[in-house]
Amino acid sequence: MIFEKDVEIAMRDGLHLRANVFRPTTPGRYPVILAHGVYGKDVHFRDAFKPQWEVLTGLYPDLDKGASSGRFLRWETADPERWVPDGYVLVSVDARGSGKSPGYLDPFSPTETMDHFELIEWAGTREWSSGKVGLLGVSYFAIKQWQVAALRPPHLAAIVPWEGASDFYREWARHGGILSHGFPAAWLPRQVSVNQNGNGNSPLVDPDTGERTTGPALEEGILAGNIADHMSDLHRHELDDDWHRERSPDLSRIEVPVLSAANWGGPGLHLRGNIEGYLRTGSQRKWLQLHVGTHYESFYLPDFVSRQKRFFDRFLKDIDNGFDHEPAIRFAVRHPDGAVWREAESWPLPQTRWTSYHLDADRLGLMPAGGSGSDASVTFEADGDGVEFLTPAFEEAVEFTGPVALKLQASSTTDDMDIFAVLRLLDPDGDEVRFTGAHEEVPVARGWLRASHRALDPHRSTPYRPFHTHRRIEKLTPDEVYELDVEIWPTSVVCPPGYRLALRLMGHDFEYEKAGRMLHDSSMDRSRTTFGGKTTIHTGPERESFLLLPLIPA
């Protein structure tokens, strides 16, 4: 293939972004697949993400074989050597202020999104371009797709956002109104500032040149002034204000074909956004995939690449390959020992039976429909292990696939409280079944809510998916009981005979032995004075607290 390195692309303000362009050697006009992000177009997957590379190549050894050994493989973007031979041009661009592209680095910003628009138009008007541009990539590269597609670039023809948020506030910044501190705080130095343009201390090396991927070094004071203080921005914008709105696209404006891919094991970031994106996008030709595994293996393994190509062959090359007639939903149903693929035409699944399990504070049980026990309450320390409610052992295999909602009657000894809701699967011996997630082991599902953010949007809420406005703060009166609707992110799980579901309620993050990535541990956001009190859950006929689950009939 033809490899053009550090191609300069002029932006509206005169600044030039740098791109790598990979295209077929045979002259002609080809559809373009473009990726635009902050991780470095010249940073090899193997060098920047060695542990993940070893996992991936262990699963797919052919990725690291041959003369090139995946020479051009980059984190979370398509491999040119597996796309260009099939008649595609691949364009990878360093976002403004990252890698070889100068400028002010402001991740997810409207400026960056407008750059993306112009890059699509540039790619769609080259002499080697068919005029059709598609977008493909994971996480950051998926988030940018949702953002720019809503601007309707004329040459954009299709998108494949793979595991990436579409609602900046609810999926990236603040889960249930609680600041998502752990991942963004670690992500910025590890993946963003390390690749900032002009970073003379970056250890990242371009394997083609042996030089830093960040270009000529800048003076430290200039470097510090060339990047947004993203964590301060997240702290400062506590509500879903215009700063967040500028980073959350109007999905109804997206009209191009969409293949949205979500990960059941990405409850903190790589799940809700793809489902909501699929549901709310204005496109008439859209598909949703819900898979398992780490978020990079699902993107690179041959079966998934094949599906990506079939989608783009249809909508970038106009090949009548039958993709139009595929079922709208393709999803993996998780079992304790693996997963089974199924298909459906709508979401939630049309056969769903919404089933309530009532919390019983006396017996710490989750009672199936037909009884909610006597009025009772249970109290736990907000910074302790919380309290757990168990279903009876299932007599036969039961499947739950879809959104989950939790209604609580709760009170706090302080003027606010954070609810961390965790749904777990326990085997007959009481041992938990853990599932492989995008980055770590995960339980069945998680949900979050800050009680002072309890206000619902009546137009966008449903019984199975509460939607909070996050537009105002309503403090609590200590020891007064409040009704709280907690959105628990969607799930899919089969509970075999003898297994139980457990609902744990806590006042802090649920973690396994290894610290999780999506933590909410900022002392600036969660002072002990406010969030270190005692929480009481009230249950019974007068104060019903219940879990609403999506039962799928056998």
CATH code of the domain covering residue 148: 3.40.50.1820
Which pLDDT value is given to residue 369?
75
231 shares its domain with 366: no
Q: How confident is the model at residue 269 (pLDDT cuts 50, 70, 90)?
A: confident
Q: Bin 40: left if φ > 0, else alpha if -120 < ψ < 50, else beta.
A: left
Domain boundary residue, one of 188, 206, 237: 237
265 domain-assigned:
no
Residue 89 counted as domain residue? yes
* Percent of the chain with pLDDT strictly greater than 90: 90
Other Cβ atoms within 10 Å of 356 Cβ, number = 18
Average pLDDT over residues 507-523: 88
- Backbone torsion region of residue 111, taken as left when φ is above 0, otherwise alpha when ψ lies between -120 and 50, otherwise beta: alpha
User: pLDDT-based confidence at 67, cuts 50/70/90?
Assistant: low
Residue 528: which CATH number? 2.60.120.260
Mean pLDDT of the chain: 95
For a pLDDT cut of 70, what percent of the chain falls above it?
98
**pLDDT of 241 over the 70 cut:** yes
Smallest CA-to-CA distance from 197 within 456, 431, 387, 18 is with 18
Find out whether 136 and 299 touch, Cβ atoms under 8 Å.
Answer: no
Closest Cα partner for 381 from 501, 487, 539, 537? Answer: 537
Tell me the whole-structure pTM to 2 decimals: 0.96
Residue 298 is assigned to a structural domain of this protein: no
DSSP states of 226-252 as a string?
TB--HHHHHHH--SS-HHHHTTS--GG
Quote the CA–CA distance of 198 and 439 in Å, as a whole number.
30
pLDDT given for residue 403 in this prediction: 98
Token pair recorded at residue 404: 């989950």
Same domain, 357 and 222: no
Q: Is residue 167 part of a domain?
A: no
Give the integer Cα–Cα distance in Å for 305 and 308. Answer: 5
Q: For residue 250, is it within any domain?
A: no
Q: Which domain-ending residue is among 237, 265, 284?
A: 237
- For residues 233 and 358, state if they share a domain: no
Residue at 517 is within a domain: yes
Residue 373: pLDDT above 90? no
Q: Is residue 293 assigned to a domain?
A: no
Summarised one tens digit per residue, pLDDT across range 152-201 is 999 999 999 999 999 999 999 999 999 999 889 999 999 999 999 999 99
How many domains is the chain partitioned into structurally? 2
Cα 129 to Cα 21, 38, 95, 117, 308: the distances in Å are 12, 24, 21, 16, 19
Question: pLDDT, tens digit, for every residue of 472-510?
Answer: 999 999 999 999 999 999 999 999 999 999 999 999 999
Task: Convert the pLDDT of each residue in 133-150 to its tens digit.
Answer: 999 999 999 999 999 999
Band of pLDDT at residue 32, cut at 50, 70 and 90: very high
Mean pLDDT within 291-317:
95
Query: Would residue 221 count as lying in a domain?
Result: yes
3-state secondary structure of 359: strand
Whether 518 and 371 share a structural domain? yes
CA distance 353 to 402: 10
Together in a domain, 222 and 359 = no
Domain range for 412 is 353-552
pLDDT at 246: 97
pLDDT of residue 515: 67
45 in the same domain as 183: yes
> Are residues 339 and 292 in contact, defined by beta-carbon separation less than 8 angstroms?
yes
Q: Is 84 exposed, middle or buried (0-12, 13-18, 19+ CB in 10 A)?
A: buried
Q: Residue written as tokens 């996480």?
A: 139
Give residue 439's pLDDT band: very low, low, confident or very high (50, 70, 90).
confident
Q: Which two tokens stand for residue 74?
A: 């980059």
Confidence of residue 370 (pLDDT cuts 50, 70, 90): low
